[in-house]
Amino acid sequence: MRFSKTIIIFSLILMSCGSNPKENFTIDFIKKSEFLKKGNKIEFSISNIDKKDITDLKFFINDKIVISPHIINNNPGSNTLNASFTFDNKKYNIKKEFVVYSSLKPKLYTYKIINEYSHSMSSYTQGLEFDKDGTLYEGTGQFGFSALKKYNYKSGEEFNKIFLDKAYFGEGITIMNDNVYQLTWKSNLGFVYSIEDFKLLKSFNYNKSKEGWGLCNDGKYLYKSDGTEKIWKLDPNTLEEIDFISVTTNNKIINKINELEWFNNKIYANTYQFNKEVGLIIEPSNGQVEGVIDFTGLKDKVKKHPTLDVLNGIAYNQKTNTFFVTGKNWDKLFEIKIIEKLSK
């Protein structure tokens, strides 16, 4: 059966504002494809079992008034269809959640190992980034062990290292305007340090985002993942969330977006506890996954031990024109080239 030829109708039981009427109303939501895309048509109406009279009926998608039929013009991600109407002199609202998926099928990529370097097995890697001179910065997690350090990735020589307070679980980092930004996991708090000496300049709170996971920047704005499918755009001055994208493929919403890297106007992302070791190449304007990087086999090359954890940490080094990847408590840092898989 082809879903493009199948009409699927969803119904939702009425939820009243302030009361639970005995009468049942539903939203009928009609789509002609299992995976809605931008440009697809949807239809919607109120189903009234007892044929009761209603007035002032209005439909909204994400608070913008719409009429049926409607051509989807929303970015990928979760959306809300609301119906507002009057019945028996009372106002009611009901809603229906639906998902818009990416219009692109992701390209598939793999990797080629260029070099392998030693990496501290005690480092629960949460953030990885190079500065313009090729010095590597790393943020690590775990309560009581979270740190920020910069070092020579070839020799292992540390140039600076600070530990976070034991109350904080360190997360992603990024470098912008001679500052290092570091997130914490569930403390609703991020830190800004001087890149020169790691002096703490200020801290900032999360507002709309749930937690702190990954962090990157485009030279103007910061981008923050929070463990969901969302990547938040942060104001560089206030560090408040001003917008977000939802990460989607042509048939799936991808959550648990983890460590982030900005390269060539795209966001490269690790995913936490995915069904296999993969990275994503994401269009930052709308969240569409343009590429999936298969990192299968990398974890097999590191030392096995009780605290070995998932792939996490991806950084582009402009000095070598290569990517570097590692994982939580991995004993190796891999220098790689990302290459497109050839179709068979």
Considering the domain architecture, whether residues 248 and 147 belong to the same structural domain is answered as yes
Considering the domain architecture, whether residues 53 and 152 belong to the same structural domain is answered as no
Q: State pLDDT tens for residues 180-212.
A: 999 999 999 999 999 999 999 999 999 999 899
SS3 95: strand
pLDDT in the model for residue 29 = 85
The secondary structure of 98-143 as a DSSP string is EEEBPSSPPEEEEEEEEEEEE--TT-BEEEEEE-TTS-EEEEE-ST
CATH code of residue 237: 2.120.10.30
Q: State pLDDT tens for residues 223-252.
A: 999 999 999 999 999 999 999 999 999 999
pLDDT in the model for residue 62 = 86
Considering the domain architecture, whether residues 152 and 293 belong to the same structural domain is answered as yes
Q: State pLDDT tens for residues 118-134.
A: 999 999 999 999 999 99
Domain span including residue 41: 3-100
Asked if residue 8 has pLDDT above 70, the reply is no
Indicate the residue among 45, 71, 100 that finishes a domain: 100
Considering the domain architecture, whether residues 57 and 170 belong to the same structural domain is answered as no
SS3 5: helix
Indicate the residue among 72, 100, 128 that finishes a domain: 100
Asked if residue 9 has pLDDT above 80, the reply is no
Phi, psi of 3 (to 5 degrees): -65, -25
Considering the domain architecture, whether residues 116 and 47 belong to the same structural domain is answered as no
Considering the domain architecture, whether residues 119 and 96 belong to the same structural domain is answered as no
pLDDT band for 91, please (50, 70, 90 cuts): confident
Considering the domain architecture, whether residues 50 and 193 belong to the same structural domain is answered as no
pLDDT in the model for residue 235 = 94
SS3 20: coil
pLDDT band for 218, please (50, 70, 90 cuts): very high
Considering the domain architecture, whether residues 168 and 82 belong to the same structural domain is answered as no
Count up the domains in the chain and report the number: 2
Q: How far apart are CA 280 and CA 254, in angstroms?
A: 10
> How distant, in Å, are the alpha carbons of 72, 147, 168, 169, 182 from that of 165?
47, 9, 6, 9, 13
Considering the domain architecture, whether residues 282 and 190 belong to the same structural domain is answered as yes
User: Can you tell me the mean pLDDT for 159-174?
Assistant: 96
Closest-CA residue to 244 (of 234, 252, 254, 257): 234
pLDDT in the model for residue 5 = 39
Asked if residue 2 has pLDDT above 50, the reply is no
pLDDT in the model for residue 49 = 67
